[in-house]
Structure 1
């Protein structure tokens, strides 16, 4: 199979974090320069199986079972490669980093490619076609650099580890054996590739290396006139990949691209600033399976009995009376010990069975029960390389279920009392809930002293990572969709469940994102279920500073309106791109996000709070409506905050946002109200106290200080 090696590196970069951008205005770009750090979601188009995953682009599905499919990602704007009166096509240079990971080494593979194509809609077949073209051929004008992991005789492939140049055909014009330079595509290691094309000399060079430094010699060098292979003056660039009954994951981790009608538009042997350095080889190697340690050897029973007899007695074969008594006593002691061991073992089993029965009655409504062995195998023995997150009272691992091949998230709750309480709370609440914007709990395990929860894996991680840690800027349409999804989930919890559910820990790190950047609210460890219209009990406030309603801090009573306040803080965080508590804020700017936005609203400068990374790529009317919704939800007076069902209607434009006062109102309590709430809080101070582990969290001492 042939594959554009330069193009494929471009593809690998795209799957990781599309840093493309930096273009001249206009629908068609005369000269283009972009990289992963400047890329936005609106700048990229995903086709077929391609999807975002933790800041990178994956061209194929992340499945643990054999699958055949293809995916493609392209820069959403066409790039001019030819212009009137100029014979030479544009020159271009691209650098990309990618990885190919095979969950099942026995499966046969596919590959990926950097692609130049005439449109942004077409996607080819799976298998040896690499998503470049289909069995009928390709639309004229397709050029690709392929990185092939499958030896396909039909396409005259040399092996299953090569790079090739494809010109309107899957039979490569030039092929390079990656084994000759010590690169193995299926190793899982990060591979770097450079593709340089000169319009004046009509030559292309493809370089591949594990190193960040561009090799001196290309693995592929060829001459061809790009004009002969492109029909349109403007074309699209991107990556494609495929599998063929395999479990390969093709990820683009970095991509930079530049083109112009000047010679050498950006060819540079040094990796662009910000590109991820190649990890050490062992970083991607599979961890050694756990080996059970053999138990220490047990001493032979009564090993020192011979010491009761003298050398003469042993040699004569006779025993003195004292020796006989010793043997009898020792035998009796041994029998008594055996009897006690039997009783202990039986008693332990009885208690375990009884405990299991008691536990089972508490979670009888819960979903599937997994065995500890299943989840241990799924996470490779809870290997540290499988960790994808750390929660308040546990660690989350990526797991692959052996029975179905499904990829899941396994939460291993801590062994503390709080960890166990969170496990039971989450299991008893979220296990009975069903909503498209809630993380789905697949099952649980309570065995061998472990408390485990199994969820659907959210491929794009948490909202806070998408906002603050990703090299890709989260676009406004995605942000709006996420806020609407969370509002819908809260409306369900507050008003549509049999019993009202108060989440108590609404924050961006507890909002997960699936493949389509749909919001899924999770982490119900602090949640409470109460009957509708029933007053909640007072407890010690639990949660994270910046998201906590002022009345909750004073009274300890969590209601649906305290969740609404937390949601308002999330809205302002998403709109501004600032954390709720900014410890390194600018001088003269409040470190509290809600306070800062209220101050801007008072000054009539609400627009200045908008995340500058969004540029002007948003609807101004929609943006202002969302910001006012955020302020309305974070109103100091809980009675003035809207219900979440009304918030959903506001976000979709079905109802008007209530009038938000220019000056932030103050929260006031009557003396009798404050004394009553203080009395309730003190009487309930002995209840379970659970606090999130964020650096900005609060504990009981903070509540007492506030009181």
Structure 2
């Protein structure tokens, strides 16, 4: 190309480059000017929230009241630090908004209750109301406070005409609710300690306000409260949003576990569930920063300075302009052709890969798009991580189209991880049982495999046992054990092909809103035909849950799952981990010896005739001794070193519910029943696997590699 024509083309390309860089800045300015606001806990910085009164941070959540075991009266607030536009200038039409939040009310003393918490819209960012029934919304002075609130009241207060001590109400500049509904009508108890999910949606064009409440992460079809309100009468142009809570001579702790908020002035529609702009929220000043210079160091030329480009182009004359236009069109045509060709090749390759996977999981409930799940997890933000499973990380997500809360398991970026994910996908996709984690769908795009599950609001069993402030009650523990046993009986004996889980442990047992057990994480699971001998593999799982014959041969079977379940039974009944790293820190056990291996410890107590001494002391003996003895004996029977002496899971279910007696469990721990011929056959069939297993075990003994959610176990994979 002639030099003259090139010199004419350069300003156009430079201008195009600058305009391309300027577009994101312009779109950001438009978003700000529109008055829309959106954020959530996953992207907020600490400086983005104002904590007032008794409000404070605690383990990733905001607590509105103090953590005291003695009754007291106090109040606290947490607000988004920036005011939100609720009315446009010169217009009385209020903004539409929607908010989703998860909260819990935990009482350190069950006999001491009151008062509750509320979602709050307030013109004041510094005021904290009084304690007790005022919920921190209104002060003690006679002058009224302006606010809009949706209250969740745990104490019936006659002064404010409360219907009971478990209701939701809409408060408009008054603590006497304009609208109120009984939460007992939908079987939600604010004082249960369970995580409660709430959706509040207001349509500014119609004035319709709805409140949905559920233990589940799925928004109920029917709202608990529906009303029509002219919000413009109660809000200013700018208001603050957040939460307020109080106690009234009680030990209630009000925790906000998750919060997302979105507002919009789009007429006729409520805004969708929030999809925050991470960059804007983590760096609020980004939109106000000066545009960067594109010239060399020392150049004073700014984005949008058109004079230099215009003058240089005009100096070239009309011929140069025509040349520039022609060259630009030619260049763009070539670029577009190359882009379309490359893109079509990539789409075909990805589609072929996706179709191949889809043919194997055609029975899946739904195929999600990568874009959906990336948006739901805020680009797989590290703040959204809720756990680590076998070969994958689990994220909390909120689907942008309906606000449903989900758990997204993302495959590790290695061949082994993808193989395990495909195994999990193919196995769990065909399973249907009330005590298995439900798979909502999957995604296979951009070289990644993602699995979408129901999110379990009460977390995992190990967290409920060892990290909860209050001990897990015995009736919950028994229900959990029966649920897991039922799930394993289904996998072992009721499926078309027998499924061996291979990783049964407390951290893989999740708890729904009613503390029902859901067995999950099938990354290590294997399918075998019924009555077929399993193949030898490298032993995989967590020390303390692994059967001795599995460690020796690498052959997993239904009986190895039974052994793992036995360890879980003893863990639940005793309140101890199967392997305790620091035995000295926990003191001596009842036999006077240091407790390191739970199964051996319980066998020792059984041999001495003091089996009930193994019961979790935190239960305070709030259990039937006969029932506790039966559960402990079931745990010992399942964790017997004698492979043939272990019961089937179907028999275990019958034992736990009292429909069948527990088999006689010898006082002395049996020896391992594994013949020399069996051992030689296993070694002959899988010498290399056993060598790999030995290497893995050797490494495991020197390092403490385990999933973050199971700090007590050494992972063997």
- TM-score, length-normalised on structure 1? 0.58
Distance 1:80 1:675, change over 3 A: closer
User: What is residue 389 of structure 2 aligned with on the other side?
Assistant: 391
Counterpart among 443, 464, 467 of residue 441 in structure 2 = 443
User: What is residue 649 of structure 2 aligned with on the other side?
Assistant: 644
User: What is residue 472 of structure 1 aligned with on the other side?
Assistant: 470
CA distance in 1, matches of 2:484, 2:533: 24
SS in structure 1 at match of 2:502: coil
Distance 1:354 1:240, change over 3 A: closer
Pair 1:111 & 2:151 matched: yes
Distance 1:20 1:347, change over 3 A: closer
User: What is residue 533 of structure 1 aligned with on the other side?
Assistant: 531
User: What is residue 418 of structure 2 aligned with on the other side?
Assistant: 420
SS in structure 2 at match of 1:437: coil
The answer for unaligned runs of 5 or more in structure 1 is 22-32, 36-63, 82-92, 101-106, 139-148, 153-178, 197-235, 250-282, 298-314, 316-333, 701-707
Q: Is the 2:151–2:169 Cα contact (8 Å) retained in structure 1? A: no
CA distance in 2, matches of 1:693, 1:68: 32
Q: Is the 2:641–2:673 Cα contact (8 Å) retained in structure 1? A: no
- Deviation at residue 682 of structure 1 after TM alignment: 1.6
Counterpart among 602, 611, 619 of residue 614 in structure 1 = 619
SS in structure 2 at match of 1:399: strand
- Deviation at residue 386 of structure 1 after TM alignment: 1.5
SS in structure 2 at match of 1:127: strand
- Deviation at residue 291 of structure 1 after TM alignment: 10
User: What is residue 482 of structure 2 aligned with on the other side?
Assistant: 484
CA distance in 2, matches of 1:583, 1:116: 48
Spell out the pairing of 1:302-341 with structure 2 (5 A cutoff): none
Pair 1:592 & 2:597 matched: yes
Distance 1:73 1:540, change over 3 A: closer
- Deviation at residue 575 of structure 1 after TM alignment: 0.8
Q: Is the 1:6–1:195 Cα contact (8 Å) retained in structure 2? A: no
Counterpart among 681, 692, 697 of residue 714 in structure 2 = 697
SS in structure 2 at match of 1:607: helix
Q: Is the 1:14–1:73 Cα contact (8 Å) retained in structure 2? A: no
Distance 1:286 1:515, change over 3 A: farther
- Deviation at residue 137 of structure 1 after TM alignment: 11
SS in structure 1 at match of 2:536: coil
Distance 1:482 1:121, change over 3 A: farther
Counterpart among 598, 610, 618 of residue 605 in structure 1 = 610
Distance 1:651 1:401, change over 3 A: same
CA distance in 1, matches of 2:636, 2:285: 52
- Deviation at residue 75 of structure 1 after TM alignment: 8.2
Pair 1:654 & 2:659 matched: yes
Distance 1:72 1:612, change over 3 A: closer
Spell out the pairing of 1:476-555 with structure 2 (5 A cutoff): 476-555=474-553
- Deviation at residue 472 of structure 1 after TM alignment: 1.7
* 1:366-388 deviation digits (Å, cap 9, x = unpaired): 22000011111111111222221
CA distance in 2, matches of 1:342, 1:77: 66
- Deviation at residue 637 of structure 1 after TM alignment: 1.1
Distance 1:610 1:15, change over 3 A: farther
Q: Is the 2:471–2:619 Cα contact (8 Å) retained in structure 1? A: yes
Identify the range of structure 1 (441-450 vs 684-693) with the bigger mean alpha-carbon deviation. 684-693
- Deviation at residue 590 of structure 1 after TM alignment: 3.5
- Deviation at residue 457 of structure 1 after TM alignment: 0.6
CA distance in 2, matches of 1:345, 1:136: 56
User: What is residue 626 of structure 1 aligned with on the other side?
Assistant: 631
Q: CA RMSD of the aligned region, Å?
A: 5.1
SS in structure 2 at match of 1:115: coil
- Deviation at residue 192 of structure 1 after TM alignment: 8.0
CA distance in 1, matches of 2:532, 2:377: 42
Counterpart among 670, 674, 685 of residue 675 in structure 2 = 670
* 1:628-685 deviation digits (Å, cap 9, x = unpaired): 0100100111211111111111111111111100000011432222111112222556
Q: Is the 1:510–1:523 Cα contact (8 Å) retained in structure 2? A: yes
* 1:318-364 deviation digits (Å, cap 9, x = unpaired): xxxxxxxxxxxxxxxx9999999887666544433332222222222
Counterpart among 170, 176, 187 of residue 127 in structure 1 = 170
User: What is residue 559 of structure 1 aligned with on the other side?
Assistant: 557
Distance 1:108 1:424, change over 3 A: farther
- Deviation at residue 489 of structure 1 after TM alignment: 0.7
CA distance in 1, matches of 2:554, 2:113: 62
User: What is residue 451 of structure 2 aligned with on the other side?
Assistant: 453
Distance 1:500 1:69, change over 3 A: closer
Q: Is the 1:6–1:193 Cα contact (8 Å) retained in structure 2? A: no
The answer for unaligned runs of 5 or more in structure 2 is 1-51, 73-96, 115-129, 138-146, 183-198, 203-234, 263-277, 295-315, 317-331
Spell out the pairing of 1:44-63 with structure 2 (5 A cutoff): none
Structure scoring higher RCO (CA < 8 A, sep ≥ 6) equals 1
* 1:32-84 deviation digits (Å, cap 9, x = unpaired): x479xxxxxxxxxxxxxxxxxxxxxxxxxxxx977999998878865799xxx
